[in-house]
Chain A
Amino acid sequence: MAFEPKREEKALKYEELRIYTDEELKNYSEEELKNFKIKHETPALDELEKGPWPSFVADAKREALHRKKLDADRMMTDKDAVDDLLGQLQLSFDHGETHWKHGGIVGVFGYGGGIIGRYSDVPEKFPAVAHFHTIRVNQPASKFYNTDYLRSLCDLWEYRGSGLMNLHGSTGDIILLGTTTEQLEPIFKDLTHVMDTDLGGSGSNLRTPSCCIGKARCEWSCYDTQAMCYELTQYYQDELHRPAFPYKFKFKFDGCPNGCVASIARSDMSFIGTWKDEIRIDQEAVKAYMAGDIVPNGGAHKGRDWGKFDIRKEVINLCPTKCMSLEDGTLKIDNENCTRCMHCINVMPRALKPGLDTGVSILFGAKAPILEGAQMATLTIPFMKVEPPYDNLKELIEKVWEFWMEEGKNRERLGELIQRFGLPKFLEAIGVPPAPQMVRAPRSNPYIFWKEEDVPGGWDRKIEDYRKIHKR
């Protein structure tokens, strides 16, 4: 086995963990579902059952029916939670405004985050969603599951929550949507003691890291995204569960510059796989592409006739640095001038492959607009070798955190701090020399700071000395 967990994990067998019997799980017929009406009139939601895309309303209704037919003592929260959620949603459509009260601070002992409190502002109408808190559960890297795990989680959540979830939250967590305050601790106890799994993050802390599918099922991944995601999640559990930062902080791990987990847009510290040697070329496969024997881009454009594959038009001329050429039917790449954008590899995955000397580029500071405007992450570390146990990486991360925790203002994202202090100060704080790779272009204004020690004679000057050679 390529990877070992950091600790012995319990084997989870649904048959040993389950709450509900087969009869309880299949407690309604298709006929009953067809005739089923939830307890509120929901004309707008009924409209959303039409059309081909999976209807969340149709799905919610079957859970409403399932709960209705379970015995009252077979769940610890209100059996009408789904009915009332849909009822409140209908009311929100009628009013054109949300009906959730502002905020809500709830949690479990020992942690400062992981649970998002939520209360209805019309609890008398919809008592089953009067408390409707969300629990973030840390997902396994790349969101692979087996059914023992998922079924057990479903039983736990139907018994102690609403039975509604998000697979998955934008940051990556499994989202359990809707339970009462009194059920939070019992759920956490079962999550940790039975399911051997932990909460994710929320608040001013390290949020749940996530990664692309990586080497599990992709030929382009330049490092073990899951392994790094798992290791850093485990290593920084304290920072994840107990908010100690000026604001939130996210890690995301992309195996290559295609960015399948969007780290460049959605993480304060973005890890993007890359290589520093040459793109591997299989010239026979290149010929097969040119002959039309292999469909370009893995067949991504099969739905339309784009004509015969033309390597000049589709690859060589689209290369952003124009570092490719075709000489006597042989494809050449001037690798020194390649910026590893992935285009040629994406178009001809059977002929071209990333190099073998791989690592990560590290970019900092992505965030959504609030407060100072949206930012994408900016390149700071062009290349870094990353191998378990990632000591070099941890050292860097901790330098970044030290700087931000010391200097960051309340609710100031790292990206905003870098803007406020300037990139040069950030580089100095983390001990990195400046490089032209860090900018799209050098500055155009001449408002340049100099440190006093870099200027001969320093800044301590006397006007009298000046006047000796310049009359007033």
Chain B
Amino acid sequence: MGLSLGKNGQYNPDKPTEDRITDIGPRHFWQYFPPAIQKNYGKWDHHEILEPGILVHVSETGDKVFTVRCGGCRFMTVENVREICDIADKYCNGFVRFTTRNNIEFIVDSPEKLEALKNDLLSRKHVSGSYKFPIGGTGAGVTNIVHTQGYIHCHTPATDASSMVKSVMDSLFDYFTGMTLPAQVRVSMACCLNMCGAVHCSDIALLGYHRKPPVIDHEYIDALCELPLVIAACPVGAISPAKTESGKKTVKIKEERCMFCGNCYTMCQAVPLSDKLGDGVTILAGGKLSNRISEPKFSKVVVPWLPNNFPRFPEVVEHVKKIIEAYAANANKYERIGDWAERIGWEKFFEKCGLPFTEHLIDDYRLAYDTFRTSTQFKYTEAAWAVSKSVGGID
């Protein structure tokens, strides 16, 4: 039985529950393992990165598999997937896989096939010039940016995802195809603070953010939303019940208490908050989720806001490069960005990266106290002298 044709295909709208299959789950993985992977499952002895984007895994049996990792857009068309299939059919007996950071991996079993595959991949470019399958993303470099839907498919974003990722990856391309950093740098991106993905635990995280309270559609809100859910959606208790002049139920928002998270809009379409001039990008840094040497860390806000300058986000790109270059020049081997920042102290991080420190970066949410400095251990930077000057403690 082939795939169906016609408007309804095999589906009979008159008998919707007839002949319905449910709860079968995903396809079983084993059939999609290339033979060399099946044969050596659980028997791997070691691996090596031969060059950026190329891995070899060696089995106890002596078998070797070579993996070529290529950048993927995540958002891709069936045309792109078919081209991936053409490549997989030509070199990999029809097998291909995707990584947890949305890169594409082609696996071959001989150095000869590896060379041919590499050359083929690098020769493929879109008509407008970008690589279709750039090789890289291994070792101590910058790999693919885990990201979200943005304006392509979501209703709550404060920025766009695909365009920002493209712009940042263009500027970090040499780090994708090279392994020149002290450790891997994981960049991730989320278009609102629901943070679908790993923004809260990344070396560098780009986050869409609003700066204006919602506007309330008073005439419709009671018809469209469950008001108690709207009220309960606010993490800072800024929303309370109210009535319009005509007596309709609505809510009021204490504007000075709102920090623009947008969660009330997630629950209720009558409180939209996106705004061209208010919305923009926050940058966080220093998160990680491996347990290597140091424990997993949350990313910390280091740039409170940058404009949504579509389509290339020059300010965002510039700040990301600044952080990575300062890190590359100063961190020790194996140190992640967060390890480096904590070793030198965040005051030095701001100095080395040339980032201004503003009041927005001081936590004021519930457990904020734990982030204050309750010691006299600090390093002097220009920011410290500015404080001294402000109280007349220094000329």
B212 to chain A minimum Cβ distance, whole angstroms, is 12
B267 to chain A minimum Cβ distance, whole angstroms, is 8
User: Is the C-beta of B250 less than 8 angstroms from some C-beta in chain A?
Assistant: no
Contact across chains for A189 and B78 when beta carbons are under 8 A apart? no
Measured between beta carbons, the chain A residues less than 8 angstroms from B232 are 410-411
State in angstroms the CA–CA spacing of A443 and B13 once bound together. Answer: 60
The A333-365 residues at the B interface (CB cut-off 8 A) are 339-343, 346-347, 349-350
Contact across chains for B139 and A164 when beta carbons are under 8 A apart? no
Measured between beta carbons, the chain B residues less than 8 angstroms from A198 are 22-26
Contact across chains for A376 and B296 when beta carbons are under 8 A apart? yes
State in angstroms the CA–CA spacing of A71 and B173 once bound together. Answer: 39
Contact across chains for B139 and A374 when beta carbons are under 8 A apart? no
User: Size of chain B's interface in residues, with CB distance under 8 A?
Assistant: 152
The B28-51 residues at the A interface (CB cut-off 8 A) are 28-34, 37-38, 41-42, 44-51
Comparing A253-261, A429-437, A457-465, the segment that makes contact with chain B is A253-261
B145 to chain A minimum Cβ distance, whole angstroms, is 10
A178-193 interface bits toward B, Cβ cutoff 8 Å, 1 = contact, 0 = none: 1000100110111011
The A97-111 residues at the B interface (CB cut-off 8 A) are 97-103, 109-111
Measured between beta carbons, the chain A residues less than 8 angstroms from B367 are 373
Contact across chains for A303 and B141 when beta carbons are under 8 A apart? yes
Contact across chains for A52 and B194 when beta carbons are under 8 A apart? no
Interface bin, chain A: 35 or more
Contact across chains for A193 and B10 when beta carbons are under 8 A apart? yes
A111-B22, A198-B26 given; A144·B311 CB < 8 A: no
Contact across chains for B197 and A234 when beta carbons are under 8 A apart? no
Contact across chains for B292 and A342 when beta carbons are under 8 A apart? yes
State in angstroms the CA–CA spacing of A390 and B302 once bound together. Answer: 44
User: Is the C-beta of A3 less than 8 angstroms from some C-beta in chain B?
Assistant: yes
Measured between beta carbons, the chain A residues less than 8 angstroms from B366 are 373
Measured between beta carbons, the chain B residues less than 8 angstroms from A89 are 151-152, 160
State in angstroms the CA–CA spacing of A143 and B99 once bound together. Answer: 7
Closest to A372 in B: B235
Measured between beta carbons, the chain B residues less than 8 angstroms from A320 are 293-294
State in angstroms the CA–CA spacing of A319 and B294 once bound together. Answer: 9
* CB-contact partner of B49 in A34, A142, A302, under 8 A: A302
A97-B274, A98-B155, A371-B263 given; A167·B102 CB < 8 A: yes
Closest to A47 in B: B311
Contact across chains for A92 and B160 when beta carbons are under 8 A apart? yes
Contact across chains for A346 and B292 when beta carbons are under 8 A apart? yes
A229-272 interface bits toward B, Cβ cutoff 8 Å, 1 = contact, 0 = none: 01001100110010000000000000001111110111000000
Contact across chains for B77 and A299 when beta carbons are under 8 A apart? no
Measured between beta carbons, the chain B residues less than 8 angstroms from A372 are 235
Contact across chains for B153 and A134 when beta carbons are under 8 A apart? yes
State in angstroms the CA–CA spacing of A257 and B51 once bound together. Answer: 25
A204-248 interface bits toward B, Cβ cutoff 8 Å, 1 = contact, 0 = none: 000010101101111101001010001001100110010000000
Q: What are 14 A-B pairs with beta-carbon distances under 8 A?
A: A49-B126, A55-B73, A55-B128, A97-B276, A97-B279, A144-B96, A147-B94, A165-B78, A166-B75, A198-B26, A226-B30, A230-B29, A237-B22, A265-B289
A194-B3, A217-B67, A301-B182 given; 20 more Cβ-contact pairs under 8 Å: A4-B28, A5-B28, A51-B170, A53-B170, A54-B72, A54-B131, A89-B152, A102-B155, A138-B25, A141-B29, A144-B37, A146-B95, A149-B32, A150-B85, A155-B3, A165-B76, A226-B30, A258-B291, A259-B290, A343-B292
